[in-house]
Amino acid sequence: MSFEQNTISSDVDRKRKSDSAGVLVLPPLLTVGTLLFGFALHLVWPLRLGAPNWVRIGGAFLVVCSVGLAVWGGKTMRRAGTNVNPYKPSLTVVTDGPFRFTRNPLYLGNVVFYLGLTGIVSSVWPLILLAPMVAAFDWGIIQREERYLESKFGEAYRAYKSRVRRWL
């Protein structure tokens, strides 16, 4: 490959990388990684919630709801013709489906899934790690996406942002 081809290739790669939100981690990896860390802590130093059975049943209900929300959000994004993967370019501002109620239905689904599993397992450690995980979602994913979407879609995204809450 010549120097000129190499330069063109690196320019294309740079443009492709700049047309994404620049999130620090894929959201499901953050959720699963935090859960695994919490469960590992539980194995080393077990701290149970001592919750009644209805908490486990509620946890299972939350897991089912979160999966439904994530599937609905993903289908809505694909139907709108945009990428679900935050490492790929956003092609439009999605405002229908679950995006009418929350700007981040997939991320909300991740957090609800996490809470549901925490209830099912009845462990304190994942509950303790919930706040740092949500902070990581906010700082490492959501704020970056919002800056990206605002710079890419301008007033259309700002208007949407003023109408719909970040979480609920």
- Following DSSP, what letter does each residue of the chain receive, concatenated? --HHHHHHHHHHHHHHHHSS---SS-HHHHHHHHHHHHHHHHHHS--B----HHHHHHHHHHHHHHHHHHHHHHHHHHHHT--SSTTSPP-S---SGGGGT-S-HHHHHHHHHHHHHHHHHTBHHHHHHHHHHHHHHIIIIIHHHHHHHHHHHTHHHHHHHHHS-S--
Question: Structure pTM?
Answer: 0.86
Statement: residue 128 has pLDDT above 50: yes
The answer to whether residue 97 is domain-embedded is: yes
The answer to whether residue 46 is domain-embedded is: yes
The answer to whether residue 92 is domain-embedded is: yes
The answer to whether residue 9 is domain-embedded is: no
Statement: residue 15 has pLDDT above 90: no
Q: How confident is the model at residue 10, as a pLDDT?
A: 46
Structural domain boundaries enclosing 144: 24-163
